[in-house]
């Protein structure tokens, strides 16, 4: 008889798919989308180009990019009844919950074709989801404070249009480019929790809106995408940037066995390459807009953590510096994770398309830990 497979908590190291979307070498700090280094994509490509690469496997030619960008721009607006749904939600609710709700109802409003077996339907869903997520996030940002949403513009790039829809002001070139690079850097990251969630939902042949809604729910947790929001709150509890104050704070947390947000990763055992680039983006924003005291605290915390737990492979991850960048761009703290979602949707959809190309429903096993073969005692006889 063959041996039963061993249970691995968190499925650490267990392959859940064969994939050609994203390659990570956690020991070397290497991240590639479809074989291209993320650093090169961040330097040379827009989010639209990277989305095309993720969805279709190759970088677009100029003509392909123009056609694809125009398609995305045309699909940015939302049906007014989706806006109506957002208006019914409690304004104290978290934007990630509003986003999950809006994406789930999108499946009802854009159901034409409604068959994931049809590649044309899958492609249209992918375009719509990438195009509309920023509009939902910006609309909810305004609706919850009593303002009307701003219609998307078709003459702006994906990142610039998102910033424009938040406050109605066209961002300058630097802000638009930095937002664009942040979107590129968050677009894909292999078999993380939300991508796995998306693939599991897709494997049941549920519609892509349901798959993406479930992925958004998974991303929201503080151990995953939600960490970017918590990092800033955490940094604000450190009294000042002096090495003594930061060291004392970190030692206290570690002694209490508390996680320090923005550090650690299942795959990376060195500093996440995205954290380095985001840190650079923060510095370039400071040159124009002035620095922020939180940044000096973050840099000192990185230094102290290296000394305290660096030998365990615990280093800054993507969420450590991203919040500092977003805050400088004027985003509300609870919009940081939604920004992660409007980028990661490209990766989720690349995985969804790949899953459906060669689908088998996910149905893992378990290790039984209960008592078997019990007999039901009728309620009248239970003591
Ligand atoms: N602070 C302090 N200790 C840590 C941290 C941390 N942030 N991360 C890991 N460790 C320690 C952990 O206590 C454990 O130590 P020991 O072996 O002595 O018990 C060891 O490192 C392994 O940790 P783990 O929690 O078993 O590792 P994991 O692979 O299950 O979890 C993680 C990975 C990212 C959930 C975890 O590092 C963590 O909770 N980090 C803080 C939250 C965070 O920043 N999340 C964002 C992740 S990156 C972007 C994304 O996924 O969205």
Note the pLDDT tens digit of each residue in 24-51.
Answer: 999 999 999 999 999 999 999 999 999 9
For atom 23 of ligand 1, the residue with the nearest CA is: 264
Ligand 1 atom nearest 312 alpha carbon: 21
Is the pLDDT score of 176 beyond 80? yes
Residue whose token pair is 């929790």: 193
Ligand 1 pocket mutation, candidates 195, 235, 255, 259, criterion most atoms within 8 A of CB: 259
Q: Kindly report the CA angle at 55 between 54 and 61, in degrees rounded to 5?
A: 80
Ligand 1: centre distance to CA 271 (Å): 13
pLDDT of residue 5: 77
As given in the structure block, the two tokens for residue 63 are: 């003509």
Mark whether 312 and 339 lie in a shared domain: no
Render pLDDT for 329-356 as a digit per residue (tens, 0 to 9).
999 999 999 999 999 999 999 999 999 9
Q: Is there a single domain that holds both residue 216 and residue 90?
A: yes
Q: Are residues 203 and 345 in the same domain?
A: yes
pLDDT band for position 265 (cuts 50, 70, 90):
very high
Question: How far is the centre of ligand 1, averaged over its atoms, from the C-alpha of 205 (Å)?
Answer: 33
Report if residue 278 sits inside a domain.
Answer: yes
Q: Which of 100-114, 280-294, 352-366 has the lowest mean pLDDT?
A: 100-114
- Whether 42 and 152 share a structural domain: yes
pLDDT at 225 over 70: yes
Asked whether residue 377 is domain-assigned, the answer is no
Evaluate if residue 113 carries a pLDDT over 70. Answer: no
Query: Are 262 and 194 in a shared domain?
Result: no
Q: What is the average per-residue pLDDT within 351-368?
A: 96
| pLDDT: which is higher, 5 or 84 | 84
Q: Which residues are catalytic?
A: 265, 319
Is 38 part of a structural domain of the chain?
yes
Average pLDDT for 128-144: 98
Q: How many CB atoms lie within 10 A of CB 281?
A: 24
Taking the model in full, what pTM does it have?
0.95
Provide the token pair at 378: 């009728």
> Whose Cα sits closest to atom 26 in ligand 1?
266
For residue 115, pLDDT over 90 is answered with: no
Does any domain span residue 371? no
User: Which residues touch 296 (CB under 8 Å, ≥6 apart)?
Assistant: 241
> Residues 80, 102: one domain?
yes
Which tokens in the block code for residue 356?
């459906």
Residue 207's closest CA among 276, 112, 287, 317? 112
Dist CA 207 CA 107 (whole Å): 7
CA–chain centroid gap for 112, Å, is 27
Q: What is the pLDDT of residue 329?
A: 95
Q: Specify whether 349 is located in the same domain as 323.
A: no
CATH number at residue 197: 1.10.580.10
- Confidence at 114, pLDDT banded by 50, 70, 90: low
Report the nearest-CA residue for atom 27 of ligand 1.
266
Same domain, 320 and 304: yes
pLDDT exceeds 60 at position 360: yes
- SS3 assignment, position 33: strand
Q: What is the CATH number of the domain that holds 257?
A: 1.10.230.10
Report d(CA 269, CA 69) in Å as an integer.
36
Report the separation in Å between the CA atom of 263 and the middle of ligand 1, taken as the mean of its atom positions. 7
**194-211 mean pLDDT:** 96
Q: Are residues 196 and 180 in the same domain?
A: yes
What is the tally of structural domains in the chain?
Answer: 2
Range of the domain at 256: 227-328
Cα of 128 vs centre of ligand 1, distance in Å, is 34
Instruction: Please tell me the distance from the alpha carbon of residue 297 to that of residue 293, in angstroms, as a whole number.
Output: 7
From 198, 225, 259, 264, give the residue whose CB has the most ligand 1 atoms within 8 Å, as the site to mutate. Answer: 264
In this predicted structure, the answer to whether residue 169 has a pLDDT above a threshold of 80 is: yes
The verdict on residue 279 lying in a domain is yes
Q: Which atom of ligand 1 is nearest to the CA of 263?
A: 7
Q: Mean pLDDT in the chain? A: 96
The answer on 244 and 203 residing in a single domain is: no
Residue 1 has pLDDT above 60, yes or no: no
Residue 109 lies in a domain: yes
Q: Say yes or no to pLDDT of 276 above 90.
A: yes
61 in any annotated domain: yes
Residues touching ligand 1 (Cβ under 6 Å) are: 10, 192, 223-225, 227, 259-266, 312, 314, 317-319
Name which of 179, 173, 140 is nearest 328 in CA terms: 179
How far apart CA 162 and CA 153 sit, in angstroms, is 9
Stretch (H or E) spanning 24 = strand 22-25
For the record, the structure tokens of 299 come out as: 């840099």
33 is a domain residue: yes
Co-location of 93 and 26 in the same domain? yes
| pLDDT 10s digits, 292-327 | 999 999 999 999 999 999 999 999 999 999 999 999
171: buried, middle or exposed (CB in 10 Å: 19+, 13-18, 0-12)?
Answer: buried
Please indicate, yes or no, whether residues 273 and 128 belong to a single structural domain of this protein: no
């Amino acid at each position: 008889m063959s041996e039963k497979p061993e249970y691995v908590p968190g499925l650490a190291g267990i392959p859940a798919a064969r994939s050609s979307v994203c390659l990570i070498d956690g020991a070397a700090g290497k991240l590639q989308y479809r074989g291209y280094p993320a650093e090169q994509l961040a330097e040379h490509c827009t989010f639209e180009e990277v989305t095309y690469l993720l969805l279709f496997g190759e970088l677009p030619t100029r003509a392909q990019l123009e056609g694809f960008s125009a398609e995305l721009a045309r699909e940015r607006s939302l049906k007014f009844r989706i806006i109506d749904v957002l208006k019914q939600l409690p304004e104290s609710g978290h934007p990630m919950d509003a986003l999950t709700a809006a994406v789930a109802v999108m499946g009802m409003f854009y159901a034409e074709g409604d068959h994931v077996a049809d590649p044309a339907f899958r492609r249209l869903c992918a375009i719509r989801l990438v195009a509309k997520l920023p509009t939902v996030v910006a609309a909810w940002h305004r609706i919850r404070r009593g303002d009307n949403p701003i219609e998307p513009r078709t003459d702006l790039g994906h990142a610039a249009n998102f910033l424009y829809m938040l406050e109605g002001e066209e961002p300058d070139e630097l802000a638009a480019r930095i937002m664009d690079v942040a979107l590129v850097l968050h677009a894909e990251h292999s078999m993380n929790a939300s991508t796995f969630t998306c693939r599991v939902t897709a494997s049941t042949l549920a519609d892509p809106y349901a798959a993406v809604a479930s992925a958004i729910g998974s991303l929201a947790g503080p151990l995953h995408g939600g960490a970017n929001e918590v990092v800033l709150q955490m940094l604000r509890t450190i009294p000042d940037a002096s090495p003594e104050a930061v060291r004392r704070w970190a030692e206290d947390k570690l002694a209490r066995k508390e996680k320090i947000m923005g550090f650690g990763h299942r795959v990376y055992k060195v500093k996440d390459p995205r954290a380095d680039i985001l840190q650079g983006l923060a510095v370039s924003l400071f040159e124009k807009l002035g620095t922020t005291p939180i940044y000096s605290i973050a840099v000192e915390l990185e230094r102290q953590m290296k000394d305290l737990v660096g030998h365990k492979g615990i280093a800054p991850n993507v969420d450590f510096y991203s919040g500092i960048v977003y805050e400088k761009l004027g985003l509300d703290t609870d919009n940081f994770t939604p920004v992660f979602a409007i980028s990661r949707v490209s990766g989720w959809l690349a995985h969804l398309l790949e899953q459906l190309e060669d689908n088998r429903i996910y149905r893992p096993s378990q290790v039984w830990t209960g008592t078997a073969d019990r007999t039901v005692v009728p309620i009248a006889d239970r003591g």
